[in-house]
Amino acid sequence: MKKIIILLCFFSSLSLADVSAEKLAEIRQQALEQAVIFHKGKNPSTSQLLQTAREFEDYLLNQNPAKATTLSKKAKTFKKSVAPARVSNFNGLSVGINLQNKSTTAKVSGDVRNSNTTYRATFDGIGQSNFMGDIAIDYGFSITDKALLLVGGNYGVNNNEILDFHGAWKRGPGKDSVYGEIKVEEKHHFSLYVAPGYELSENVLGYAKLAYHQSKFETSNTLNFTNGEETVHGYGVGFGMRSQVTDNLFAEVGIQRVMYSTDSITSRELGTGSTIGTVGLAYNFDNKGKVLFDNKAVDFKGLNIGFTGELKSTLSELTVGRTTSKNDNFSSQGTSFDSAGRQNIVSSITLDYVYPVAHRTFIMVGGTYSLENNETLKLSESLGNSAKVEEEDHYSIFVSPAYQLSNNSLSFMKFAYHSAKLNLTNSLSDNALGTALPSYSEDIKGFGIGFGLRSEVYKNIYTDIEIQKVMYGSESISQYADSAIDVDSTIANVGISYKF
């Protein structure tokens, strides 16, 4: 070994003018150690060992990539062996706060009776859409160079009102109606989840989420009915994107569909689900990586045509100016039902153009058109009759100011105009479920506000994660001058597009 070290001192390396004697000795010692490792178990001759050591030394001394082309395969192997292991920016503990647009609806089934006839009735659905806040905590574990597993949980910081009905209740033939209110609230919601993720770039993580959810549903009323309380359990599936904003601060947009178990509340079967769109900020306590924006940055400018899959919940609040029934002492008081609606999976085609307006700043202009109708409400009975409301011919036009957070992440805020038609079809007769108009159609127009993230997944192929709240406003029902319908939608989508 001493002989080898002495011989190494006579290596004629590349230019050594800028290398100190101490540094040169350190490099030669490291080169020799790597040569020994490379030939371990091969019984090399002294000349072979020295030749390999020289190649490693040449690699360490050569700081010019243009000259590195002559390095041997052994030197390239050495490069891999001495390169530091990459640590993901998404590893470690993160704590965050989120704003959710949460739409929770229920499918209620039960028996209703009229004279001597009993009907099995289903009302799909009842619920509301509200803004919620929650606290999130998770930990990221590296699986491979780019794959991670997030494990964490969320806790809701406020209650979620699901139903608010106030109006006159008919007590029977010849009896006065009683005016009162019924409310249903979701309380103490929390979830636990695992989310396998993949880094779309150093600063962007896409993930899929599988979650366990638990909530408590409570009913209250002013009608002397028995109040109910039930703990419901369910599971959620969703997708999201997390993007680095500063060294330790991350922005996140996620969507999730939650399916709760069927439970009995106030003597009815209740099948409940939620559509959740989330936008939030998280602080990662363990990240040491920087936000990258350099000559490798993705150019988001251009025309994009794409396709989205959407979780869409459209809910309607119905207000009736007066309530009438036989011997009704409360006929001057109105009735309000907040809200009725359903959640569906729909799809749309999208088109937009991204204009650069300043450094890392863009304006996105475009539109969407829904490919299917969206059934928002259905009331049915065991004889096969039903009344249902569908949202048809929905489209939107939008403008979105956008900012490039890193090489491969474009964040945007969306302002949109929406137009659709509500169409009622009905085959119910005068039975225990009552009567309804044989048909009804109403054009609705409104505006939406939302947030999203866009990232390139392959050359000119982009993925978007977006949430949006759409408010159509109150529309008078033309057949009833004292009645109105107030419609809004929660839209959470994941899309893919191609940039021309």
Say how many Å lie between the first and final Cα of the chain, rounded. Answer: 62
In a domain, 275, yes or no: yes
Shared domain for 127 and 34, answered yes or no, is no
Last residue of a domain, one of 82, 110, 144: 82
* Residue 417 placed within a domain: yes
Residue 267 confidence (pLDDT): 37
pLDDT of 38 > 60? The answer is: yes
Residue 124 above 60 pLDDT? no
Measuring CA to CA, how many Å separate 481 from each of 315, 320, 405? 21, 9, 51
Structural domain boundaries, residue 396: 92-499
Q: Are residues 108 and 20 in the same domain?
A: no
User: Is 270 among the domain residues?
Assistant: yes
Backbone angles phi, psi at 172, to 5 degrees: 145, 175
Alpha helices in 229-362 (DSSP H): none
Cβ neighbour number for residue 346 with a 10 Å cutoff: 20
Residues 301 and 185 in one domain: yes
Is there a single domain that holds both residue 37 and residue 127? no
Question: 351 in a domain, yes or no?
Answer: yes
Is the per-residue pLDDT at 406 higher than 70? yes
Cα torsion angle, 379, 383, 384, 385, sign = negative
**Overall domain count for the chain:** 2
- Sign of the Cα pseudo-torsion (408, 200, 192, 278, in order): positive
C-alpha–C-alpha distance, residues 360 and 301, integer Å: 11
Instruction: Provide the CB-side half-sphere exposure for 350 (13 A, CA).
Output: 27
Enter the pTM of the model: 0.72
Handedness of CA 403, 404, 406, 410 (dihedral sign): positive
- Is the separation of the CB atoms in 300 and 404 below 8 Å? yes
Are 331 and 471 in a shared domain? yes
Spatial contact of 299 and 360, defined as CB atoms under 8 Å apart:
no
User: Is residue 241 within 8 Å of 456, Cβ to Cβ?
Assistant: no
> For 72-104, how does the pLDDT look when each residue is reduced to its tens digit (9 = 90+)?
555 555 555 555 566 788 999 999 999 888 777
HSE value, Cβ hemisphere, 13 Å, CA-based, for 249: 6
Residues 452, 479, single domain; the answer is yes
If pLDDT is split at 50, 70 and 90, which confidence band does 23 have?
confident
Q: Are residues 104 and 36 in the same domain?
A: no
pLDDT band at 231 (very low <50, low <70, confident <90, very high): confident
225-239, 342-356, 455-469, 485-499: least confidently modelled range? 225-239
14 and 145 share a domain? no
136 falls within a domain: yes
Shared-domain flag, residues 65 and 128: no
* Per-residue model confidence (pLDDT) at position 52: 79
Contact present, 237 and 257 (Cβ < 8 Å):
yes
For the chain, the farthest-separated pair of C-alpha atoms sits apart, in whole angstroms, at 116
Judging by DSSP bridges, how do beta strands 92-114 and 302-320 pair with one another?
A: unpaired
**143 domain residue, yes or no:** yes
Query: Is residue 87, in this structure, part of any structural domain at all?
Result: no
Mean pLDDT of the chain: 76
334 and 416 in a common domain: yes
Q: How many CB atoms lie within 10 A of CB 33?
A: 12
End-of-domain residue from the set 57, 82, 107: 82
The helices-and-strands tally (H runs, E runs) of the chain is 4, 18
Query: CA-to-CA distance for 439 and 412, rounded, in angstroms?
Result: 40
Q: Quick: pLDDT tens for 460-491.
A: 999 999 999 888 876 655 554 455 666 778 88
- 32, 37, 38, 44 alpha-carbon torsion, rounded to 10°: 80
Residue with more model confidence, 129 or 5 = 129
Q: Are 464 and 499 in contact (CB under 8 A)?
A: no
Co-location of 63 and 149 in the same domain: no
Supply angle C-alpha 128, 164, 269, rounded to 5.
Answer: 75
27, 60 Cβ separation under 8 angstroms: yes
Q: Where are the beta strands (DSSP E) in 19-116?
A: 92-114
Together in a domain, 411 and 485: yes
What integer is the mean pLDDT of 290-301?
A: 88
Percent of the chain with pLDDT over 90: 30
The lowest-confidence range among 48-57, 312-321, 397-406 is: 312-321
- The predicted pLDDT at position 422 comes to 80
**Chain length of the chain:** 500
Confidence at residue 95, expressed as pLDDT on a 0 to 100 scale: 95
Does 378 reside within a domain?
yes
Among residues 17, 50, 82, which one ends one of the domains?
82
Can you tell me the distance from the alpha carbon of 223 to that of 183, in angstroms, rounded to the nearest whole number? 11
Cα separation of 297 and 293, whole Å?
A: 6
Output the six-digit token pair for 8.
């190494």
Confidence of residue 391 (pLDDT cuts 50, 70, 90): confident
